[in-house]
Amino acid sequence: MSVRKLKPITPGQRFRVVNGFDAITTDKPEKSLLAPNRKSGGRNSQGKMTMRYIGGGHKKKYRIIDFKRDKAGIPATVASIQYDPNRTAFIALLNYQDGEKRYVIAQNGLQVDQNIVSGEAVAPEIGNAMPLSAIPLGTIISCIELRPGQGAIMARSAGAFAQLMARDGKYATVKLPSGETRLILVNCMATIGAVSNSDHQLLVSGKAGRSRWLGRRPRTRPVVMNPVDHPMGGGEGRASGGHPRSRKGIPAKGYRTRSKTKASNKYILERRKK
């Protein structure tokens, strides 16, 4: 994987850094795995704006991803590595031996024509999905379930990975991408390897218009608002002072909002780094 710095023939390209897309093998998605993706513009069912700074953006179809990896013991061949406009990671199209096709999150190093499989008694190789009870300690993993059968919800974005640190009884200790160390049930599934497209963090948009293509509207800074709109608004000129806080008045930097009585606190061994 690589990135390309464009030659600036327009002002918007002067600082633009784009993905090289070396890993992508086709630009045509599998039609049977597409679904409509309707935009809300940040509005709820009553038409009221409940999320600001959302709207516009290019029209796109949703790719139906298999996060559960529940076809145990049935080998699949990687048919292609594809771009997905709905996520930062690349996706892989799998052709199973029984004829079914599915999309999965592509791991770093996954190749076309490679065979991958999910289940307990499989080799811990890149792209294979296994329960945490069967994965060797110290292995780099991604696409991790939090509850058995729920489907992967952690370490799914570009370049993300976690590490299996230890096992004790029915719990495994996993160090997550945020730096948090947490207990997860050993019968939860995870995929071997880090997520693809690790160069995503190096990309530079180059112009504000590209954010609009992605469906992001301009965000107003709180300090330029009026006092009626935000706690940090108002003042003559560029007023400094006051503590950074949210629109609701909650401090923004270092203030812990997690409940001390939350049931899952006992599974967190070490909190994420600040």
Ordered structural domains, the chain, with CATH:
3-201 (2.40.50.140), 220-274 (4.10.950.10)
pLDDT tens digit sequence for 79-131: 999 999 999 999 999 999 999 999 999 999 999 999 999 999 899 999 999 99
**Mean pLDDT calculated for residue range 127-151:** 97
Query: Cα separation of 20 and 38, whole Å?
Result: 29
Question: Taking all residues of the chain, what is their mean pLDDT, rounded to a whole number?
Answer: 95
**Mean pLDDT calculated for residue range 182-207:** 96
- Rounded to two decimals, the pTM is 0.92
Locate 232 and state its tokens. 């940090």
Locate 266 and state its tokens. 């006992």
pLDDT for 2 equals: 86
- Do the beta carbons of residue 269 and residue 175 sit within 8 Å? no
Query: Cα separation of 193 and 139, whole Å?
Result: 8
Locate 69 and state its tokens. 């990896």
